[in-house]
Amino acid sequence: MTATLPRCDGWCRGANPITHIGSKGYVYCAECARERRWAGSESVRKMRAWELDRIARGHALNSYAPITREESDRRDQERAEATERP
C-alpha cells in the first residue's frame, strides 16, 4: 500500500503537496499557508516529518494549540540554559 497525503484545503485545490497545518485542523501547501497567515484568518505552522507520515498512513493528529511569542521565547531560554549547565 502506498502512502498518499490528503489534498490542500486552500485555494489551489490540491495542486501542491501539503506542508502546513492550521489551528482549525485544515492542511495547506506552502503557498496557501502563507496566504492564510497573511490574511490573519488562521494560525498556521509547518508540519513535522512524523506528522506528514502519520497523515499519510491515515491517522489523525493531536489537536494543535498555538502558543504566544512570550511562551515560545521562555521555552527557548529554558532550553539554552539547560544546554549551558555542566
What digits encode the pLDDT tens for the residues 23-71?
A: 888 889 999 998 888 888 788 889 888 888 888 888 877 766 666 778 8
In terms of Cβ atoms closer than 10 Å to its own Cβ (0-12, 13-18, 19+), residue 7 is: middle
Instruction: Quote the pTM value.
Output: 0.62
- CA pair distance 73, 36, nearest whole angstrom: 24
pLDDT of residue 7: 84
Beta bridge partners of 28: 20
Q: Does residue 68 or residue 8 have the better pLDDT?
A: 8
